[in-house]
Chain A
Amino acid sequence: MVGNLAVRRQQIGVIAAAGLAGWCFTPVFGGRALAMPLLVVCLACCAVVESCRRWPVLVPWRPLALVLGGVLGIVETLLLPTTVVGLPTPATIRALGSGLWSWRRTLESTWPAQPEPELMLFVPLLVLVACVLGVELLDRVGALGAMLPSLAVAGVSQTYDALEGSAAYVLVLCYAATAALVLLPAAARSATKRRPKRRDLAPLVAAMSLASAAAVGGLVTIGVDPMGRPPYTLQRVQSTDLPSNRPTSPLAEVAGRLLDPEAVVFRFRTDAAVDRWRLVALDDFDGTNWTTARPFLRFGAELAPGAALRSPMLTARADVEVRNLSAPWLPSQPLPRSVDASREVFVEPVGGTLYAKDRPRTYSLAWYTQRVTAHQLLHSAVDRDVRVSDLGNVPRDVAALASRAVGGRRATFQTALALERYLATHYQLVNGPDADAEDSSAGRQTVPTGHGWPQLRRFLFGEKRGTSEQFAAAYVVLARLNGIPARLVVGFRAPEDSDRDGWTTVRNHDVLVWPEVAVDGIGWWPLDPAGLASPGRQVGGGQDEVTERARAELPPPGELDDPPAPREAGEPGQGRSVPASKLTLWHWAWLLALPPVGWLVGVPVLRSLRTLRRRRQHGSAAVVGAWAEVRDRLRAHGVRVTAGTTVRDLARAAGQIADDQTVRGLEQVAWAVDRALWSPVAVDQRVVDDAWAGVRQVNRGLRRRPWAARVRATLDVRSLLSA
C-alpha cells in the first residue's frame, strides 16, 4: 500500500511538473488563456493513470490512453467550436493538424500572443507529450529520467520568452517541489515510527534544511548573473522571413498624393488628441532608398510599451475606416497597444507600423500615449542605446552642412530642435502643385520628388525648397551625421476639423513625412521641420503641442549651450528606479532570511520573557516558576528530564554535565520547593528569593560549560516549546 501510494505520488509529481513546464509559456500567452487547457490535460492524464492503477489490464495501453485522454481534453477546451456537441469532427482533426505548426505562428506573433487555438495549441500538446513520456519513463528509467521531458518543455518555453526575476524564482521553487515529490524514495523508511511524534524531528529537520538550501541556491543563482547576457529568443531568428514581398514604400507615393490632394484616404474617430497617423517608419538609408529591415510580427493580444520608456502611460483608442490606401499599410500610432480587426494584422513594434496582407476595411486601434512635459523633453538626452544604420558614403558638402547646422554641439534633444529650426528657417516648403515648378513641356503640374543623395543635395544646396519628404529625409541625414539617432516616418497629418458624424476624414493633401529622434526615457519623438517651415501652420494636439512648447523654450541660436555631460550609469542620484524583478528578488531574500534571523533573535528573547514572567509571580507560584526555570535551562543543556523527575533527581543528573555550583544551586531550589509545597507555613518572600538565588547559581554554573554547548542551549527551541 505504501509503495502504491508512493508510485501515485510520483506519477502526480511528473504530471504536475509537465503542467508547470507548460505554465512557463505564460509570458507568451498570458496565464488566463493557458490555465484551462493545461489543467484539463493534466487532470485527464491523472485520470488515465488512476484508471490504469484501478484496472491493471489497461496498463499496456496506458500510453495510448494518455494520448487519447489528453487530446480529448485539448479538443474540449481549445477546439470546442470545431466540435458538434463536444464530439470531434473532421474540422477538429484539421485544426489539430494545423495546430502542429502553431509553434511557428506563435514565433511570428508579438507577445503576449492572441489566445487563439491556432497559436497556442502546441503548448498543451507539448505538455501532453511530456506527461506521456514522463509517466512511461518513471517505470522504465527511474524518477530522475521521468523529469527530463518536463525539463525539456521548460527549455522550449524559455526559447520563446525567458521568465525573469520573481516569476522565474516562484516557478523554480514550484518545479523543485514537484521534483521532490518524484524523487522521494518509494518506501518511506522511518527509523522512528514507533517513537512518540514529538521526538520525530530528524526527517523534518532534514527536509527543512534541504528545502532552505534549495531556496537559497535558487535565489542566489537567479539574482547573480555572471555574464549578464540578454535571454536568447527564437522570435528574432524565426520572424525575419515574414512577409517576404514587401510592397512599395509609401514614401514613393508622397508626391503623387500631393498631386491629387482631395482624395479621401481614410477616416477615423477618436476622443484622444491625435496629431498624426503613420503608415511606415523607415530607418535604413542606402543613398537611394529608405527602407526598414525590422521584422514584422503577428499582432498578439497586446503589446507592452517597452521597458526603456519611463513616462507615465495612458491608453487612447480610435476606430479607423480605410478608404483609399493602395499598399497594405494601415494607419497607426507610434506605440500601438492592441488592434481589433477582422483580419490578421502584422506589426513592426519598434516603428509602430501596421501591415495586413488582407486589409480589413475597419479596425479599432488602441495605443499608448505618454505624459511628457516640454521641460522634460527639452532637457533630455538622445537615446544612445538606439542603433541606427550607417549612412554609407556621405557627400562631403552634406557632412559640412551637418556640423554647420548645429554649430558642433553635442547630440541632445535641444540640438535636434535647433536642427529642425535651422531647416525650417533656411528652406522652403512646397505643399502641393506649384506654378513655378510647372513642367511646361509636359503640361503637367509637378512637385519636388525623391529622397536619395542627389535629390537631397539639390534640396540642401540647390533649390532649397521641397516637400515634407525632402525636409524629413534631409533632417534624418543631418541628425544622424550629428550623432542624433533619427528615422523617417511616412504618414498623414490629422486634420483638426471633424465631419458632422464625428469622424475625421484624412485626405491626400494631409500626407506628411516627418523625422523622429530617439529621446532617452521617452522613446521616438516626432518633429516637423516641414510644418515649421510652412507659414500658416496649425499645431495639432498631442505630441505636437508638447514639441511646440519645447520649441518656445528653446534659446535663440546664439545662446544654445551644451548641457553638462550626463553622469555615468551607476552613480547615485541618476533617478533610475531599480528594476521591478530585482526588487522582488530582494524581497524573496528577506523572506528566506527571516526564519534563521527569527530563530537567532527570537528564541533568546522569548526565553528571557518567560523568565521574567515566572519571576514576577508571587508566593509558591514563584518558587515553582524557579523550579520550571532550572528544569528548562538544564533540558536545553541536554539533561534528560521526564515528568516524574524531582529537583533532586535533576541535581544528580546535572552533576554529569555541570560543576558543583550548579548542583548546589539546584539543591537550594529543591529546599525552597519543599518549603513551598509541603510546609504548612505560607511561603514568604525569603523562600522565593532563595529559590531564585538558586536559579542564578545554576546559571552561573552553566556559564562555565564549553561555549559550543552554551550556544546550542541558547538556541534550543525544544526547551522553549515544552514549557
Chain B
Amino acid sequence: MGFKASLKIDTSKLKKIIKNRQDLIKHNIVVVVRTEAMPHLIDRIMDGYDRLSDRMSSLPDDPTNPALWRTEFKNKLLEDLERNLIVTDRGLIVRIGDKKFLGYTDDEQGDTSSTEPLTWLVYYIEGLMGDWAFISNATYKDMRGRGPTMPLGRFGEGFMISRSQFEAEGWSKVTSFEEARHPFSGFSPLDIFTEALNEFRMKPFIERAIKAAKEGRKL
C-alpha cells in the first residue's frame, strides 16, 4: 500500500524563526557573560587580591597597603568589562585586567612616572626579591631636613630602597632598617589573575543562556 502527501514549506518564515532563535541565544549569552560570568570571575580575582592584602596586615595604615585601594581596583576591572566586552558576528571578546594599569610596561609606551596606587601592584603580583625598606616622606624629612623635591615615582608618598642602599646612604641614622622594612620584602609572586582564570569555568554560564533561549526566555 502506498500514499502520496505533499509538503509545503514556507522557507522564508522558517528562516525568520531560526534567525530569531539565533538572535535570542546571542543576546542571552551576552547578558549572562556581562551580568553573571564576568562578575563571578572578578570576584575570584578579588579573592586573590584579598590574599595580597592579608600579607599587609602588619601595616594597616601603610600607604602601600593594597587594602586601601580595593574599591578602586575592583572598579577598574568593572570599567574594563564595560569598555572591553566586544560582540562580533563570530563571537564574544572580553578583556579585563589589562596589565598596563598595574604598572606593567612591557612596551616603550608605558607610563614611567605614575604615582597611582594601582601601578604598585605589579610588585605584589610578581613578587619582590630582596630586602626592602619603605622611606616615607616624614622619614625623608628627618634625614634631609626637607621634604622630597622630586617625584617619588610609583609610591608617591614614599619610595622603596634596598637594604644595601639603605645602609650605604646612611638612612640608619634616622630609622633602623627593621622599622622601615617593607613587609613584601622577598615575598614570592601571587598571580591573582592566573589563579582566578584557572578556577573559572565559562561552560555553565553559556549553558544557562542557551537553556533560557530554548525555552523562549529573553534574559
Q: Do A and B come from one complex?
A: no
Residues in A lying within 8 Å of B, measured CB to CB: none
